[in-house]
Amino acid sequence: MDIVQSPISTLNHFYEKSGVEVGQHFYWQIGGFQVHAQVLITSWVVIAISLGSATIAVRDPQTIPTDGQNFVEYVLEFVRDLTRTQIGEEEYGPWVSFIGTMFLFILISNWSGALLPWKMIQLPHGELAAPTNDINTTAALALLTSVAYFYAGLAKRGLGYFGKYIQPTPVLLPINILEDFTKPLSLSFRLFGNILADELVVAVLVSLVPLVIPIPVMFLGLFTSAIQALIFATLAAAYIGESMEGHH
């Protein structure tokens, strides 16, 4: 009997370990599931800022663009050029909206951590921060990217898409399969790690030297946050383009 119970107790032990969390979180109970309320709140704020800004800027298009319309057109052209470069002239069109949404959501999320006074809003547990400061958000974005490039490859090449796993030789099958697991891991941990590190550095400097030094560090954080959004969007577009090409 002890031999049978031993593996079960071991599994329970690992399950308890998996429940260990860093810091405190504010939860909502939705449909029998616990969700991180602070991540949902900040994500909804970011989505509202994105939709509100775009709506205000293009609600009355002018032949001679206004400043807001000029900015929106510049961002759209930038995303279109990025997508065209990574995916290709013939295939990039349907993916502009996906890559643009990824880029803008990550950019505004990253900047919200530095520009919005999240710390002033008190929660029963935990505190508000940039959505990309949570590994669940970055993992979800990375998984969406994985679904997108699988869909792109299957839509373009059908079941022949899976032939890439045995190219140039079937010996590389395990490595090619492992690559599809490392792509979302790399995307999620790179973004999460950089944003978390930036916010921790600023918080430590503000607590130690609250007047002068944190300001240039915050400006540097805005720059690096924009670079992280650009890297994520570029890699997502590159993965989609690669899946449609059918080779590495």
- Using the predicted structure, report yes or no on whether residue 246 has a pLDDT greater than 60: no
Q: What is the 3 state secondary structure string of the chain?
A: CHHHHHHHHHHHHHHHHHCCCCCCCCEEEECCEEEEHHHHHHHHHHHHHHHHHHHHHHCCCCCCCCHHHHHHHHHHHHHHHHHHHHHCCCCCHHHHHHHHHHHHHHHHHHHHHHHCCHHHCCCCCCCCCCHHHCHHHHHHHHHHHHHHHHHHHHHHHHHHHHHHHHCCCHHHHHHHHHHHHHHHHHHHHHHHHHHHHHHHHHHHHHHHCCCCCHHHHHHHHHHHHHHHHHHHHHHHHHHHHHHHHCCC
- Using the predicted structure, report yes or no on whether residue 172 has a pLDDT greater than 70: yes
56, 68 in Cβ contact below 8 A?
Answer: yes
The answer to the question of residue 45 being in a domain is no
- Using the predicted structure, report yes or no on whether residue 196 has a pLDDT greater than 90: no
At 11, the pLDDT band (50, 70, 90 cuts) reads very low
| Arithmetic mean of pLDDT over the chain | 80
The answer to the question of residue 210 being in a domain is yes
Instruction: Tell me if residue 171 falls in helix, strand or coil.
Output: helix
- Using the predicted structure, report yes or no on whether residue 212 has a pLDDT greater than 70: no
Residue type, 131: P
The answer to the question of residue 47 being in a domain is no
- Using the predicted structure, report yes or no on whether residue 77 has a pLDDT greater than 50: yes
| Per-residue confidence (pLDDT) for residue 17, from 0 to 100 | 42
The answer to the question of residue 54 being in a domain is no
Least reliable range by pLDDT among 68-82, 181-195, 197-211: 197-211
At 4, the pLDDT band (50, 70, 90 cuts) reads very low
At 247, the pLDDT band (50, 70, 90 cuts) reads very low
Give the residue-averaged pLDDT of 195-215. Answer: 73
Domain that holds residue 139: 65-246
| Distance (Å, whole) CA 108 – CA 222 | 10
The answer to the question of residue 82 being in a domain is yes
- DSSP per position, 183-215: HHHHHHHHHHHHHHHHHHHHHHHHHHS-SSTHH
Q: Is the Cα dihedral 22, 26, 30, 35 positive or negative?
A: negative
Torsion of Cα atoms, 57 then 46 then 225 then 127, to 10°: 150
What residues have CB less than 8 Å from 1, skipping those under 6 apart? none
- Using the predicted structure, report yes or no on whether residue 14 has a pLDDT greater than 60: no
Q: pLDDT tens digits, residue range 28-58?
A: 777 777 777 788 888 999 999 988 888 887 7
Give the residue-averaged pLDDT of 67-81. Answer: 85
Q: pLDDT tens digits, residue range 99-110?
A: 999 999 999 999
| Distance (Å, whole) CA 183 – CA 165 | 15
Length of the chain: 248
In 3D, which of 219, 215, 242, 247 has the Cα closest to residue 87? 242
The answer to the question of residue 14 being in a domain is no
At 19, the pLDDT band (50, 70, 90 cuts) reads very low
| Per-residue confidence (pLDDT) for residue 95, from 0 to 100 | 93
| Distance (Å, whole) CA 112 – CA 107 | 8
The answer to the question of residue 43 being in a domain is no
| Per-residue confidence (pLDDT) for residue 164, from 0 to 100 | 81
Total number of domains constituting the chain:
1
The answer to the question of residue 204 being in a domain is yes
Q: pLDDT tens digits, residue range 118-160?
A: 777 777 766 778 889 888 899 999 999 999 999 998 888 888 8
| Per-residue confidence (pLDDT) for residue 102, from 0 to 100 | 93
